[in-house]
Structure 1
Amino acid sequence: MLMSNRVKDIIQIVLSSRGFVTMKDIANKMNVSERTVYREIPEVTEVLRQYQITLETVSKKGIRAVGLPEPIQKLQTELGEHKKLQVVDPKERMYLVLLELLHQDDFMKTEALAIDMGTSLPTIRNDLKKIEKILPEYNIKLISKKGDGICLSGEQVARDHLMVNIIMKNTDVDVIVHWLAGNVRQFHPFMQKLDEYGYMDLFQTCEKILRDISHKLIQKNYQILDQNYAELVMLVSLLIRRHKIGNRKYSTDFTVEQVDKNQKKVVAALIRMLEKKYSISLDEAEKEYLLWVMDISVGKRNNENVFVKNFVLKPKIEEFVELVEGRMGITLSQDTKLMDGLLTHIDKALVRTRSGMSISNPIIRDIEKDYSQLFSIIKDTVRKVFPDDYFPDDEIGYLVLYFAVSLDNITKKTFRVLVVCSSGMGSSKMLASRLEREIPEIYVRKIVSLVGLGEEDLNDYDLILSTIPLYLKDREYLKVSPLLNDNELEIVKEKIRRHKHQTLRKIEEQERKAAELESSNSIVSLKQLKQLTTWAVDLLAEFHVYEINNLKDENHLFSNLEHTIWEAGIFIGEQEIKNYVIRHGNECRFTIPTTEISYFECYLKKIKKPLLFVYHLKEKRMVDPQEGDAVSNIIFFFYPTEMEEVQQMFLRYITELIIEDRDVMKLIEKGDEEEIRQCFGHRFRHYIGESI
């Protein structure tokens, strides 16, 4: 069974509590918001259900686990062992779902997938939406067929490439290399999956063959990184698997235009070893594929001047760097290491991406965070220079690092320091000497006395160090001893580290100003703002809480609903509402966890503007047979299908308010129309203000 760390923590808190525990207490123990805890409750409930444990909710008391001692003890034990219960984050779970689909030859019910993954149906549906966005770059489609379920459609080689990328994205390379060599050092969910799918023997046998091949390449002064080696082993292994099952179709052209003669010899040796080991005969297409795999996995020889030899790509790299220079306002084209590095990387990146492969970048999130503006510049520039090629974010991240290193080099010896010292030239020289000796980036531009300080333009310096107190703000100077002790030295070094990003901050400011100038037409922005304001005002004006007495059944509900929306100008009949519910099922209505509120949404082309209202039931009713929960309130949200992005974001915000904002939920359960309207009005005003 799979679960996130957050779900695991909530379950452990609930199980260890004597009696009820409130959401607030759980949130405080986990150092998260109550809203975050509420979002995880459906997943918590699903995990507990697998162990015949129910989650009891009592108003003003909280929640508690109810079940027999044996299953509770079993769950607690397995949570501690981390064996049967695999703790994964949501992104890993999504990739595990995708991995499962890649190994299904026929349609699979989403319900069965939820059971296999040990998670809820809504969670699986949410994962499938994310998966659908990933697949096009691999030429794979997610097919959904009513009554049959879902399956993936695409060439086997494309499916294999996607599988390798999944493994590389979600597993540390040292774990993969050890697993391939047969040295399983620790439990890992993705390695366990490979074992379950029957890959272990094949992969480990191929690894032994390729280990000898890699040694030959290294002896010839070729570069082969651990990550490339792991990909090489898996891709070659999967080629053997495709051959054995008779799947040898390659619609993608894997021809390598310029084949290195030494690599060609190595591949010929590899082919002989594979054919002998598996008693097979590889065809020409498969041999071309092996050449391609070797080419993308093995780096150029260390003494090879790749920039001079690659005449085709060189102009593109020069154009790329020139455009980045223009955006940054800094000259980088004289950095030969940058130019050579970009050429080597982009050369292989183009081969990978054009064949449906992509590289994994384990620090991509850190790169996006630390170099956000540089990342944006390079991403935009790559699209301009290579308009017919797709570069995923992982590839962009590596390109950013090349530029970051170059920027780091040009910032050396540019940290300008002013030293203020009144105790004599000897001590000030000693301080300056130690600074320049300990920190190579330091450039002591001037040494002045306290009197001379008044003549200096302090904006000319990046840091002011003084051996005496100065009448300046603390952030504008550092007071140090003439001998500069170790603690003071570390503080100065930290200042240097921050300064290294100063160039990037200037770039960000330049980009921000440029973006303001190039932003969308002000008239268009004002029109969008007017539309949002109009919708917000109309939603509040037409919002009502309807008291419903003696609600008999679902048909009675739909009959009331038809009357309500007709009065609001939405002309949808009772039967049309029923048909909509049949088509969309639980996606259009569900009970909000730990509440007595049912949420119902409907979006159709004939709806021209959004409508929001509540049915407050005098007696609790089970309005959704599939949910099986009695509710006292139903909130309805009708909205158009055709909207601009700014409108979609606003409606998405409203939905989040309804199902995540605890204050809004309490007011809905209370059923006070004016209080709910005032609360929505306050939230809408804040949202529109933030948008401005």
Structure 2
Amino acid sequence: MRKITARQRQMILLLLGVSEGITAAEIAAGTRVSVRTVHREMEDIELILQDFGLDLSRKSGKGLQLNGPEAGLEKLRLFLREEKLAEYSGEDRKVYELCALLEAEEPVKLYSLAHSLKVTVASISYDLDELEPWVRKFGLLLVRRRGYGVEITGSEIDKRRAISRLAAEHLDLSDLVGHNLQLDVNPIFKMLLSTVGKNNLMHVENTLWDMEWKWTTELPEIVYMELLLGLAVTTRRIEIDRGVDSAEEAGYTRLSNHRNIAGAEIYAQRLGETLGLKFPSVEIVYIAGLFDQVQDSFSSAGFAYGDIELMEIVYRLTESVVKRTGISFQSDRSLREGLLEHIDPALKRIREGTRIRNPLLGPIRRDYEYLFNIVRAAVEDLQMEPEIPDEEIGFLVMHFGASVERLNQLRRNVRAILVCASGLSSSRLLATRLTKEMPQIVILRNISWYEAARLPEDTYDLIISTIDLPLDKDRYIKISPLLSAEEIEKLLNYIQNTTLSDRKISSPGEPDKSVREEAALDRMKSHQSILNEMVSLLERFRFHPLDNSGMSLRTTLSEMLDMLSGSGVIGDADILLERLLERERMASQVIPDTRLALFHTRSSHIHMSSLTLYRLRQPVHLEGNTEVRVILLMLAPRKLSKESLEVLSEISALLLNSELVKLLEERTESEIRRYLSSELLRFFENKI
């Protein structure tokens, strides 16, 4: 018979106490943990139930329900009364062991860990065997010697990376920024939050926000949270005297070129005054490096929504789902953009071995079973390595589910802001579900939790969030992205009893005129920006034949950049050459099944967007010994508007069209420009 933890016992008792079923959110509230933790525990609980001839069913609108013979239920009740509970689950023990070892100044004895966790030394030894591969992923070593104890050795930088990953794998966003923390429930949870510097995180975030740097407001939420975690872990490590020993160990002096040193000094001074900490100069170099990393990752990532390889994945995935459903997903640009933005970081996490968490996987499989099976089959058609887990399939299903349910906008009279932790997939699904089920609500926009915390109250009527927020409870309502029948009723009650009573809301026949006028002006400005970008890019488009006989790839790219010198497009060509070569080393730039390659980059050394075509006298060899004879060079400034990015993304997506590829390989400059003009005009007309 399996050992169960106190938390699992509590959850099983809740399941036993209801006859109609109970939702994961209700279990989370009853046990004072996150919904993610509930779904994680349910995997072990289902195995426990099997020992009693019982199982769990998941019913739409009702949640989880215990099923089985009465004899099995009674046997389970007796077991819960008599069983001596395990203090911690195996997963909890490993988190505790990692936190203890990463914070320890000296080797820790196995019996000390065993005593703290109330298990045998053999159990600790077995846990460490399983943790060793995880530790190695960060360049660290798990050292064990008889009579010596156990310790994790390696650089301080690598230890900080490991701590940040540990937080990403075991904590929800709500755990880090929400108010509803119940630290007395689980000492392991409390220990992990302490290790990542949770007590300092909001001070870290407020100080960062008060710097009023434009680049921080442009960061995607996932990148922003990675930066905050890195900074919070840094403050915690300094507090316990685990600082970086030297600028060389920090590893960022060469990469940063001191670009963010001045800003890091001011930030560290302000944060130090708030926390009563002294930041040594080497830690300021490290913080500058963190700033550099997120700026560089954001400026290169997202350009044209990724590389051609990524666009091909999205194209093939969408086409496969279309064939199986008959739904014209390929015409939904919002779906394509959402998938492109989601899949890139998702694939990086999977390839790095990061554990994918999807707290909505159970409800998604229940409510979207047909679509889940189709998306799973479509992903298997791609034959990707490594294998894509069900948790990630669930996120993809949310994108396609949002596309299925996307409807025309209707007149509404309650202005709402959406905050979703799972990214674009959950926010778009929730937005379309709200559009369908509650047409009186207008979704103004999707924002991050840190923007919601600072949004002036007179700019909206209601904040709808899928996570706990650092706000008073009367400022927002928390619901699931899947929007069950119970949550629709809950939301209606909230609007009636809280929103409508506290704020002046536009009546159905008298919509908020100022809001509509402001939104209309913003849309006109956006359309104007898109048109200006398309026209200027097409006017600057040029075709050049290039005699590259005897030239290497480096020399060929250098000649291409030389042709742009004097045009006002680029500055330092040598830096751009290195960026282009680096991108080629990172991922293939070749259009599948062609001899055409797209080379692209963003940089502060590029002054305006540019599109240039080069046909080579002799082929050049790229990574993987692939030959190309035609290169399309796409350049853009590092700071790029959303509208400019949309236009470049559309051009990149068009490269999967065989008609454009044929034109680029064979036809004249004017013919190519006409084709691009026609396609971009169609793109613009669809946005109006």
Please indicate the TM-score interval, normalised by the length of the shorter structure. Answer: 0.3 to 0.5
- Where relative contact order (Cα < 8 A, 6+ residues apart) is larger, the structure is 2
Q: What is the TM-score with the length of structure 2 in the denominator?
A: 0.38
Larger radius of gyration: 1
* TM-score, L = length of structure 1: 0.38
